A and B are shown apart, each in its own frame.
Chain A
Amino acid sequence: MTSDLIYICAGSGLVGLALYRLSTCRDMLLRVLSLNVLAVGVAMLFLASARHAGITDAVPQAFVLTGIVVLVAVTAALLALAERVDGQDDE
């Protein structure tokens, strides 16, 4: 139970850190990075609360796995858009 608490605190800490950076920074690469950190924090909360009697529930594990794959797609799409926005500023 104590180790669950450690991971819950770390997960919330990562969420707070990512929210802080998302709202104080205009650099697009750092914003995408913050989004990734936010996702890691949420996944950590999810998995830390999915443990019951030493066994991790398979359904939240599948959700987090799906989340990781969706996030890489979102990251690729956002970076492509960011590059396009930067390119248009030049014109």
Chain B
Amino acid sequence: MSLAFDILLTIGIFFTAAATLGMRDRVGSVVGFVVAGLLVALSWVRLGAPDVALAEAAIGAGLTGALLLRSSGRLKPVERLISPPSHRFIVALIAAAFAGALAWAVYTASGAALYPALVSERLASSGVTNPVTAVLLNFRAWDTLLEIAVLFAALILVRIVAPAVPQPVALGELMLPFARIIVPMCAFLAGHLLWQGASVPGGAFQAGAMLAGGLLVLMLGGFAAPTPRLMSWGAMLALVGLAVFSLAALGAEVLTGTLLLYPDGTAKFWILGIEAALTLSIAAMLCLLFCGVPRRPLK
């Protein structure tokens, strides 16, 4: 039964992705991508990774879809397939051979799994009981710190390139009742995901994406116009996560002599503090990546 489900799901994902990449209509492509993203989130649940599924649905399908939809109207159309058929045929052969070799290599790869034993051995001292949160914010917190730095670097790039700020248009009478339900719901779910991330699937990234979704509804619905003042406050908020995380890293270095090794018994408070700052900051960064960062007018 579950095997049949897996087969149907993967076939569905593959053909949705193929349709997405083969469609002539751009908006259709983006919608196909969002549908594929939701199916992929379902497959992450089947693969036993609900934390990743939440992030995929909120960020991979939701926010990436919004970004692509924004750009689909702005980019100029070009002829889709300029490669001659012979070229396409050869490329298809090479791609298929590569995919087959990849599947064979992954399937036949062997080796003992090192991490599960290490993670379960030290989970008790990590301050949280969700192993994924423990890896992200304790065992390999350095990776997560750099990840926030990458997000911030992307934000700086977007600020330099300065895409046009989206102008909200009037969306009709049903927008207000919709926002009244969806925006408080997003804020509520973000808090819930942040808090429960310590023990069950959830965490700062999922919560931040949820909050960003709510903020985008407010902005695109015309309830909170993206004024330069509001957006420079957002930019400040975007810095908070990186600042708090870096200070925590340095503070832990001073207290324990090792970067990001939290003092005994207090790991939970460090992790919650960092996660709370990250949630607000990730929400602000994702929003600003969508609507662009205003540049101060030159005097």
A residues lining the B interface (CB < 8 Å): 2-3, 5-21, 23-30, 32-34, 36-37, 40, 43-45, 47-52, 54-62, 64-66, 68-77, 79-84, 86, 89
Give the interface SS of chain B, mostly helix, strand, loop or mixed. helix
Contact residue among A3, A40, A79 (Cβ-Cβ distance under 8 Å from B60): A40
Give the interface SS of chain A, mostly helix, strand, loop or mixed. helix
Chain A positions within 8 Å of B292 at CB level: 80
Among residues of B, the one whose C-beta sits closest to the C-beta of A70 is B150
1/0 contact trace for B73-110 toward A, CB 8 Å?
A: 01111111111000110011001101110110011010
Chain B positions within 8 Å of A51 at CB level: 47-48
Chain A positions within 8 Å of B10 at CB level: 6-7, 9-10
Counting from the closest, the 3 A-B pairs by CB-CB distance are A16-B99, A73-B154, A56-B48
B residues lining the A interface (CB < 8 Å): 2-3, 6-7, 10, 13-14, 17-18, 20-21, 26, 29-30, 33, 36-37, 40, 43-44, 46-49, 51-52, 55-56, 59-60, 63-64, 67-68, 70-72, 74-83, 87-88, 91-92, 95-96, 98-100, 102-103, 106-107, 109, 113, 115-116, 119, 131-132, 134-136, 140, 143-144, 147, 150-151, 153-155, 157-158, 161-164, 205, 282, 286, 289-290, 292
Given contacts A15-B102, A29-B26, A57-B113, contact A3 B3 (CB under 8 A): yes
12 pairs, CB–CB < 8 Å, chain A vs chain B: A7-B46, A7-B47, A11-B106, A13-B14, A16-B98, A29-B72, A40-B36, A52-B116, A72-B67, A75-B68, A80-B292, A81-B161
